[in-house]
Structure 1
Amino acid sequence: MRTALKEYDRLEATGLWRETPEAQLREVIISFGNASLSLSNQAEMALTHWSLAAIRRTNKGKMPAIYAPDEDASETLEVSDEDMVAAIDKVLAAIERRSPRPGRLRRAVVGCGLVALLAGTVFWLPDAVRQQATRLLPAISRAQIGDELLSEIRHLAGNLCESPGGTRSLHTLRMRLDLPPPDHPDPALRRIVVLRSGVQDSLSLPGGIILLNRSVVEDHEDPAVSAGFVIAEDLRRSGHDPIRDMLSYLDLSASLRLLTTGMISKEDLREWAEHIVTQPRPAVADATLLTAFSESAVPASPYAWAIDPTGEATLGLIEADPWPGQDTRLVLSDDDWVRLQTICTDT
């Protein structure tokens, strides 16, 4: 197993995990990976993954060390193993050093840029700042914002559906679709997440996170429907950058803060989360969808019928389906599909 530090080929330790503030501490096995901490039970069944880019230590300098996967710190992990603590803290320190800081040169550049922009028109300024903030944001910051935004959506939608078998099936589906490289620093951490509620059908977050409503996997008998929603959402991500969409909705101050610090305030993240979960998703052109379905070897008709049971609005997808009548087991095996359909009920 590769780790984020060259001096370790493999690093594991035990720790105490508390999933929620009300839950009891649970002994887990911690595996230190290339870009994440993996927590599993004594039977080596994966429980959760924490992105190293998003982890925070809540008791710096004290032992046992206590970590949280986000600023909310509703989920915690206690670690007593000194090697594991040293490894995690070393990576966190490196991430902190790489985080954008408003140094003198950066302030001077930003200041000169703002003066030049203000000399133009007030109608051009906001869009220019948003475009610059989006373009300059590093992948690791996108991943961190995506994790923090998912945490805010969890407050609105409740816990994720994370049964071990269903989670493995989601990973299988992601690998089966062979999606294009995401905007996450570690492509292996790109993930599909199922929510009990909170999104209408699907949603994209920064860092390559795709959210699905449980109805997408529970209310249909064909795994091609779930695959179709993932394909369509990935195409939206390509045409509508999640960071740019967020900045277009928030005040200009959010873009300026992101441009100078690489961060979005918790208040702005909460405001955007409350907005985005209620909005319809942008349409994707039939020709674009059909090309993606053809390249992924997934039939388009099941997705089209799920979008519109009458078939009137999606007739183009149905008639030009590149893989009509394909065996659903070529999309996802029967066992994987059954596990995915019960990802919420088995949690």
Structure 2
Amino acid sequence: MTALTEFQRLEAQGSWRETPDAQLREVIVSVGEATLVLSDPKSDRPLTHWSLPAVTRLNPGKMPAVYAPGSQRADETVEIDDPLMIDAIARVQRAISLHRTHPGRLRGALTILTLVAVLAALVFWLPDAIIRHAAKIAPPAQARQIGQAVLSDIENSTGKICTRKSGQAVLDWLSPRLVDGKAHLRVVPGPLNGALRLPGDLYVLGGDLLVSAPGPEAAAGHVIAASLASDDREVTLGALQYAGLGAVLRLMTLGDLPSDAMAGYGEKLLSRNPPRPDDAALLEQLAQRGLGSDAYARTIDPTGAAVPELIENDPARTAPPGPPLLTDPQWLALQQICAG
């Protein structure tokens, strides 16, 4: 420290009183790096050492300056009237003070860091945690509401869902056999590259799977594949993550989503291929329902090169023929669900 280097050899005369009842004694006062040394002027023998950071001036602004070893030890004093020495003591004390550790500043820095960490958690972790919680606790009716909102946005790209009663009756009859009794199957006129699972056990098929296929097996395979590829909680979470925190908070407090919460989400789903389940799991489920996998596989790759396991391990190859999935009138009604 510059102040210490400048004054490390400075000396001055002073008058020292060891106790309140003792007589003043002449001493030599010298400044060390962190101490004030009082010495006998005749022998140069140090009489006492005072810690400079603790030295206290008892009469600020008055002369001679009176110092004590500390604010709690005013019984021992030294009087100094040398201005240079008085200034040196003050400057060295300031220099030492600047180089001390400041617990208050450290606590303040730690407090700021803690607040930053908390704010970061609020910004980056809390919104996702709230959305995940909302997807987890959403009751079936609320999940179905979310699914309907997604379906409405899909309709902007594919056309309105097909509502011919005879065809919808076939879908309602198929639902328990392909998925379960809680599922709802819908058809849109535009292509979907398969089937989509939406929140609330809502499944959507593209009309292309019905018009161009020789039978219902391909469409059935896509519905079963959609049910295996993701569960209802996953598709609900995906929709709510797209909607965002504000929409989710409204859903949790008021029970419904903003009207535009799913705007664009349907187009996003249509822009990518639907997720596919593990081939072995799909083959098992198709076998349990007495269905083959070849028709489904050919809609993914007509050559079969991309889906060899589904082609080679088709359950229909080894199982005895079972009853058809739909009767001819049912299949015809389903194919005409978008007509009229």
TM-score (norm 1): 0.58
> Shift of residue 265 of structure 1?
1.3
Distance 1:240 1:121 in 2: 24
Give 3-state SS (helix, strand or coil) of 1:312's partner. Answer: coil
Q: Which amino acid aligns with 1:265?
A: P
Distance 1:117 1:306 in 2: 51
Aligned to 2:313: 320
Give 3-state SS (helix, strand or coil) of 1:288's partner. Answer: helix
Name the larger-Rg structure: 2
> Shift of residue 161 of structure 1?
1.9
Aligned to 1:170: 171
Provide Cα deviations, 1:144-176, integer angstroms capped at 9, x if missing partner.
222333333334332322223222222222233
> Shift of residue 133 of structure 1?
1.0
Aligned to 1:202: 195
Matching of residues 6-17 of structure 1 within 5 Å: none
Q: Does 1:340 align with 2:334?
A: yes
Distance 1:149 1:342 in 2: 24
Query: Is the CA contact 2:146–2:239 (under 8 Å) kept in the aligned structure 1?
Result: no
Distance 1:199 1:300 in 2: 19
Q: CA RMSD in A?
A: 2.7
> Shift of residue 240 of structure 1?
6.4
Matching of residues 291-306 of structure 1 within 5 Å: 291-306=284-299
Give 3-state SS (helix, strand or coil) of 2:193's partner. Answer: coil
Provide Cα deviations, 1:292-344, integer angstroms capped at 9, x if missing partner.
21222211111111211110111111112223276585221222112212222
Distance 1:256 1:158 in 2: 31
> Shift of residue 284 of structure 1?
1.4
Give 3-state SS (helix, strand or coil) of 1:222's partner. Answer: coil
Give 3-state SS (helix, strand or coil) of 2:231's partner. Answer: helix
Query: Is the CA contact 1:223–1:332 (under 8 Å) kept in the aligned structure 2?
Result: yes
Structure 2, unaligned runs of 5 or more = 1-116
Aligned to 1:223: 216
Distance 1:169 1:287 in 2: 28
Residue identity over aligned pairs, in percent, reads: 33
Structure 1, unaligned runs of 5 or more = 1-115, 182-186
Matching of residues 147-158 of structure 1 within 5 Å: 147-158=148-159
Q: 1:208 to 1:226 in 2, by over 3 A?
A: same
Structure number with the bigger relative contact order (C-alpha 8 A, sep ≥ 6) is: 1
Distance 1:248 1:260 in 2: 17
Give 3-state SS (helix, strand or coil) of 1:160's partner. Answer: coil
Aligned to 1:308: 301
Give 3-state SS (helix, strand or coil) of 2:263's partner. Answer: helix
Provide Cα deviations, 1:110-144, integer angstroms capped at 9, x if missing partner.
xxxxxx97574744333312211111212221122
- The number of residues matched between the two structures is 224
Query: Is the CA contact 1:167–1:343 (under 8 Å) kept in the aligned structure 2?
Result: yes
Distance 1:192 1:251 in 2: 27
> Shift of residue 263 of structure 1?
2.4
Moved more, 270-279 or 294-303: 270-279
> Shift of residue 195 of structure 1?
0.6
Distance 1:288 1:118 in 2: 44
Distance 1:327 1:225 in 2: 17
Aligned to 1:252: 245
Distance 1:125 1:155 in 2: 33
Query: Is the CA contact 1:139–1:207 (under 8 Å) kept in the aligned structure 2?
Result: yes
Aligned to 2:283: 290
Aligned to 1:47: none
